[in-house]
Amino acid sequence: MAEYSEQDLRYAAEFRDEIHKEALAKVRATYPDIDSVIDQYPVEAYFQQIWDYPGQWYTIVAIPEEAGSRAKLIDKIVKDTIENYKSIEEDQKPPKVEDGYSNQEARSRVIKDTDFEELIAKYPACVIDYCIVKCEELDRGKNAHLNALTCTCQELFEADTEEDSWKYDLGKAIAKEISPSELFTSEDKKGELSYRKAFLYPPHSNNYNTMDFNKINSVLFPNGIDNLEVYKWTTDWSDYFDDGHEWWGTLCLTIYDKALDRFVVVMASATD
């Protein structure tokens, strides 16, 4: 690899900055909020070796050879910058709430796992609501988690009469991804309700222990935790969580098991 002096690199950097300013002006004509550009070429690429009289190689500052021309290089920088901006913009959009499910369609995605239902029935003091949901999306991203939560709400919150139903607005729900180890952690974060704490320490004490907690999860997640993708959701979008907001706490988790291609939704809210 050729070596360049600090002066050579300074000249190349100044030349590259001129290219970037011209490209940025074109970008900002459409996207005025963008303040920098994406250039795949490092400053060292802005040199060319030429053979010249009297039979010697010279290093000059120039457009990267692969770029073709100044105009093509600028067009490439503009294109890459806009594509990167659009990609970031798309990632930052809130997940779209799936409103196309009828109650029947949503509930058809709910899985009745006999083994789990028989096991959880042995823990009548458990205050956690569980729902297992089939994954039918090709894209297993945050939207798929939200759709699973939508199905759960229609399964658990909606009753035959409005008086008996929980009100909810998933357009207000915000999620952040957490690790599987954080999901099952025994660490006590003051003021925050964890999954383990919700199972073992409800407002009215039970006699459940860690073995019980592990037994439940071994049925829900028989392939271990390596294949789990977990999102933790805010809980200000439904009056289901009002009781827990009083003091004990609230919990809303969507857990996608890649091995089983299904979601487990965990929700909790209780008071004394």
- With H, G, I as helix, E, B as strand and everything else as coil, classify residue 18: helix
Length of the chain: 272
26 in Cβ contact with 79 (< 8 Å): no
> CA-to-CA distance for 171 and 190, rounded, in angstroms?
28
Q: What is the pLDDT along the chain (272 residues), one digit of tens a residue?
A: 456 678 888 888 899 999 999 999 999 999 998 999 999 999 888 987 777 667 776 778 889 988 989 999 999 999 999 998 888 776 655 554 444 455 666 667 899 999 999 999 999 999 999 999 998 877 678 889 999 999 999 889 987 667 778 899 998 999 999 999 999 988 777 668 999 999 999 998 899 999 999 999 999 999 999 999 999 999 999 999 999 999 999 999 999 999 999 999 999 999 88
Per the listing, tokens 């594509």 go with 83
- With H, G, I as helix, E, B as strand and everything else as coil, classify residue 186: coil
Per the listing, tokens 């029947």 go with 104
> CA-to-CA distance for 195 and 187, rounded, in angstroms?
11
Confidence (pTM): 0.63
pLDDT of res. 245: 93
How many Cα atoms sit within 13 Å of 125 on the Cβ side?
Answer: 13
Q: What is the DSSP letter of 93?
A: S
Burial class (CB in 10 A: 0-12, 13-18, 19+), 235: buried
Structural domains of the chain ordered from first start: 6-92 (no CATH), 103-269 (3.40.1000)
User: Which pair of tokens denotes residue 194?
Assistant: 């964890």
Per the listing, tokens 């222990």 go with 209
Q: Is the link from the previous residue into 32 a cis peptide, with omega within 30 of 0?
A: no
